[in-house]
Amino acid sequence: MKIEHFEIQGLFLISPRRFGDERGFFEETWSRRVLSAAGIDLDFVQDNHSLSRQVGTIRGLHFQTPPHAQAKLVRCGRGRLFDVAVDLRKGSPTYGKWAGAELSAENGLQLLIPAGFAHGFVTREPDTEIVYKCSDYYAPECDGGIRWNDPDIGVDWGISGAPVLSDKDAKAPFLKDFDSPFAWEGRE
């Protein structure tokens, strides 16, 4: 398993080793031992699986606030998507900055997103499935979001035309109107 750092502290791109032959492939997508050896110590308690039928579907930018903030390990089970994380940790030198990666069933890449980040994605192929682990259970009272097209964040979703959105995502608040409950605990 290869683990790469982004410029944003705490955000990682993980490349599981894939073993393939004429039947298909096998890969280990999560190993507490491997990630712990790399200094990543997470306990996942819930798995989620989502299907987006149309190309250009945007889901996000979502997060859960404390006391139920979630870290996520995200991968694409079918199709192709562009996955995005936005730093919401007050005091972070990268507050409001985003990073993203193309995840597909073919490339097997995963994005490890720590608590204190908003998460979203856009589909690049029809019938795209996203599968992700969460470090805390879903808590509706802690559910939050930031507007997908917030100009202060400037995510380049790589789409032309109008995206497919939920009403909730289309009306989410902007970052400038969000009082983040997340604190940066890192160092430069």
**How far is Cα of residue 75 from the mean position of the Cα atoms in its chain?**
9
49 catalytic residue (yes or no): no
62 catalytic residue (yes or no): yes
Q: How many residues does the chain have?
A: 188
Query: What CA–CA distance (Å, rounded) separates 85 from 90?
Result: 15
Which of the residues 49, 62, 68, 119 is marked catalytic?
A: 62
Phi, psi of 181 (to 5 degrees): -90, 0
Smallest CA-to-CA distance from 143 within 166, 110, 112, 111 is with: 166
Query: What CA–CA distance (Å, rounded) separates 78 from 51?
Result: 9
Which of the residues 119, 132, 137, 138 is marked catalytic?
A: 132
Active site residues: 62, 132
